[in-house]
Amino acid sequence: MSDAQQLSDLLLQAGDAGTVVFTGAGVSTESGIPDFRSAGGIWSRYAPIDYLDYLRDPELRRESWRRGLHTYPPIAAAAPNAAHLAISDWWHHGLLAGVVTQNIDGLHQRAGVLNDAVVELHGNAHWIACLSCGRRFDRATVHARVIAGDEDPSCPGCGGILKATTVSFGQSMREQAVASARHLHATTRLCLVIGSSLVVYPAATLPEVTLDVGGRLAIVNYTPTHLDQFATLVSRQPAAVLLADAQGLVSGAFRQSA
């Protein structure tokens, strides 16, 4: 049995809202967004800036905004690939309870999954927030200020520090996001991991929650993970290729049952 056939069978067996999809950088690299950890990734070019250092040091904030001039445009220009579109299709067919993602690119929403159905563990790069008053701004607006020479842009309302709504080193993930993700993983019958090596904690523990409640696990990732031995399906195929094939099989099964 092919990986695509096995994946489609698992999704259909899990049934209505029976699957949670957990995605990492590997689902978006095929959209041209570089990952963080691999050779040639973002962290091989830029050392991470700790959250507390960002708060205390204006020069590190200026450096962060300078980096954003190079790192944000590929995210802004990226389009969903076949993997994102397959996930969206399954969500619209009622197979998915939701999507939990480590990605900050918003491509699941651009593919058509409603924002309320996506849990962004590490935040979203398309928004900027004031750390004092909480006001939010479109990233493109603040990006334009930096291009125009505002090296450390502040909140136009209260003068507070601005920061992308992404989770930095040393910054805690939002408690609500973690709680929502754990609930999804604890109440579904299948966890489908796509494009994550499951090395970033505590996010990497979430698929274990599904296993702990008796659910099944499927992993689509180029490299091995520590949970491969517990997975019903492990595939090293490119996510966009495998998910597109599985989408076709799932759609065919729906047509036959109609």
Q: Which domain holds residue 240?
A: 1-33+80-122+173-258
Whether residue 236 sits in one domain with residue 226: yes
The answer on 162 and 199 residing in a single domain is no
pLDDT band at 2; cut points 50, 70, 90: very high
Q: Phi and psi dihedrals of 147, rounded to 5?
A: -60, -35
Indicate the DSSP class of residue 169. Answer: B
Residue 140's CATH number? 3.30.1600.10
Burial classification of residue 175, based on how many CB atoms lie within 10 Å of its CB (0-12 exposed, 13-18 middle, 19 or more buried): exposed
Strand, helix or coil for residue 114? coil
Question: Tell me, what CATH number does 8's domain have?
Answer: 3.40.50.1220
One domain, residues 146 and 103? no
pLDDT at 1: 84
pTM as predicted: 0.94
Instruction: Give per-residue pLDDT as tens, 7-23.
Output: 999 999 999 999 999 99
| pLDDT higher than 70, residue 37 | no
Question: When comparing pLDDT for 48 and 243, which is higher?
Answer: 243
Same domain, 237 and 220: yes
90 exposed, middle or buried (CB, 10 Å; 0-12, 13-18, 19+)?
buried
The total number of structural domains in the chain stands at 2
**Does 149 share its domain with 228?**
no
Please check whether residues 132 and 56 belong to one and the same domain: yes
Helix axes 82-92 and 239-257, enclosed angle (nearest 10): 30
Question: What pLDDT does residue 239 have?
Answer: 97
- Residue 119: what pLDDT? 98
The verdict on 43 and 157 lying in the same domain is yes
Is there a single domain that holds both residue 154 and residue 92? no
Q: Catalytic site residues?
A: 122
102 in the same domain as 54:
no
The CA distance from 89 to 85, in Å, is 6
- pLDDT for 215-226, tens place per residue? 999 999 999 999
Same domain, 136 and 222: no
Residue 86 and residue 244: Cα distance in Å, rounded? 6
216 in the same domain as 239: yes
52, two tokens:
């507390």
Share of the chain above pLDDT 90, in %: 87
Q: What phi, psi does 39 have (nearest 5°)?
A: -60, 130
**Torsion over CA of 194, 97, 106 and 161, rounded to 10 degrees?**
-110
Two tokens, residue 180: 């929502």
- Reported as a single tens digit per residue, the pLDDT across 138-197 is 999 999 999 999 999 999 999 999 999 999 999 999 999 999 999 999 999 999 999 999
Round to the nearest angstrom and report the end-to-end CA distance of the chain. Answer: 25
pLDDT digit string, tens, across residues 53-100: 999 999 999 999 999 999 999 999 999 999 999 999 999 999 999 999
Q: Is the pLDDT of residue 41 over 70?
A: no
